[in-house]
Chain A
Amino acid sequence: MSIWIYIAVMAVVTYLIRVLPFAFFRKKIESKFIKSFLFYVPYAVLSAMTIPAIFYSTGNIITAVAGTAVALVLAYFDLPLIVVALAASGAAFICGLFIPM
């Protein structure tokens, strides 16, 4: 079977999942529970995606923990996203230089 048919199926299914609710869901939700629920969803999603995956993100748990610690401290002081993200990565890189492979 042509790879392009697979790619088309992947693309169409993925796009429909996004576009149907985004384009046609027009109701303002009134339920306090659902509104509160939707308010918390992004924080919950990001937290579940990050922990514990972040500790495995560099292939070495020590460099990952170092990067995580730097990210937590800088994020705590409300630094911009890009600063936190790059500093975390930089810390993991520097830490990695001191670890024999």
Chain B
Amino acid sequence: MKKEFTRGIVAGIPIGLGYLSVSFGFGIMAAGAGLSVFEAFMISLTNLTSAGQAQGVSIIAAGGTLLEMALVQLIINIRYALMAISLSQKLDKSFTLPKRIIAAYGITDEIFAVCSTVKGTLKPYFMYGVTIISALGWVTGTFLGAAAGEILPSSVTAALGLVLYGMFLAIIVPPARKEKSILIVVLTAAALSCVCKYLVPSLSGGFAVIMCALVASAVGALFFPREEGEDE
């Protein structure tokens, strides 16, 4: 249990660092929209998501309705439901209902990525570890950004923008190198994502990611169905 927790913390360090830099930007943005440091901090603590929070702050700043807020969050974050279902298939037997209710808080793109690619089943304390270190980075970055955004030199904050993406590459490249099917899914998703970005720029980023991922995964499932036991 303790070992799982420690493994989770270690696995989550790149996420925590990446979140620190990304949420720093969110903190600056929230302060700029007129929110207090404490309000920005609380948004990050209770939401733990990037695109949804950024959009949420702009709705608050514009004085939008609560219905708009709820719908926007639903649309931007609906991908987490897909990820939750995907994760539910590999949960360990020790993942009881109360533990699921706690751990659900931590379903983000990055935590999902790390948890869904662990070997074997997913254990609760591993997920707790990944979540805690990630959330720590997320709220700390928000706090620092909201309180003191202008202090760090821009050369440092700019380079930090790459941390999360570097981690994503580190997750997808090794399996793509070993399996042609994963490589094809990865390349399909990347190509579609470029199409969305450059040919359909009006499509929101979160929505584009969902569409690209759905199509690329369906292509993979259609042409390269997994054999039983292949994914253990």
Chain A interfacial positions (CB closer than 8 Å to B): 1, 3-7, 9-11, 13-15, 17-23, 25-26, 28-29, 32-54, 57-60, 63-64, 67-68, 71-72, 74-76, 78-90, 92-93, 96-97
Compute how far the CA of A58 lies from the CA of B202 in the bound complex, rounded to whole angstroms: 22
The contact sample of 7 A-B pairs, CB cut-off 8 A, is A4-B39, A5-B66, A20-B84, A21-B85, A22-B103, A48-B213, A51-B194
Residues in B neighbouring A4, C-beta threshold 8 A: 39
Q: Check A36/B221 contact, CB under 8 A, given A28-B89, A96-B155.
A: yes
Which residues of chain A come closer than 8 Å to B53, judged between CB atoms?
10
User: Is B209's CB under 8 angstroms from A40's CB?
Assistant: no
Q: How far is the CB of A53 from chain B (nearest CB, A)?
A: 7
Contacting pair B212 A43 (CB below 8 A): no
Q: How large is the interface on B (under 10, 10 to 19, 20 to 34, 35 or more residues)?
A: 35 or more
Question: Do residues B85 and A75 form an inter-chain contact, with CB atoms below 8 A?
Answer: no
Whole-angstrom CA separation of A54 from B89 in the bound complex: 30
* A-B pairs with lowest CB-CB distance, top 5: A88-B166, A84-B170, A75-B173, A93-B159, A11-B46
- Name A63's contact: one of B39, B158, B189, B190 (CB within 8 Å): B158
Q: Which residues of A contact B174 (CB under 8 A)?
A: 75-76, 78
Q: B52 to A76, Cβ gap below 8 A?
A: no
Of A39, A83, A88, which is within 8 A of B165 by CB?
A: A88
> At the interface, yes or no: B80 with Cβ under 8 Å from chain A?
yes
Given A23-B104, A82-B14, does the pair A76, B173 have CB atoms closer than 8 Å?
Answer: yes
Q: 19 additional contacts, CB 8 Å, given A6-B69, A71-B162, A86-B166?
A: A6-B60, A7-B39, A14-B48, A19-B104, A38-B89, A41-B217, A43-B176, A44-B212, A45-B209, A46-B168, A49-B109, A53-B193, A67-B159, A67-B166, A74-B170, A82-B13, A85-B163, A86-B14, A89-B160
Residues in B neighbouring A40, C-beta threshold 8 A: 181-182, 185, 216-217, 220-221
Check A85 against B164 for contact (C-beta < 8 Å).
yes
Question: Do B222 and A81 touch across chains, with their CB atoms under 8 A apart?
Answer: no
**Which of A21, A53, A90 has its CB near the most chain B CB atoms (within 10 A)?**
A21
Chain A neighbourhood of B159, CB < 8 A:
58, 63, 67, 89-90, 92-93, 96
Assess the A84–B167 pair: CB atoms within 8 A.
yes
Q: How far is the CA of A23 from the CA of B78 in the complex (A)?
A: 16
Establish whether residues A48 and B189, one from each chain, have CB atoms under 8 Å apart when the complex forms.
Answer: yes
Give the shortest distance, in Å, between B73 (CB) and chain A (any CB).
Answer: 4
B82 x A41 contact (CB < 8 A): yes
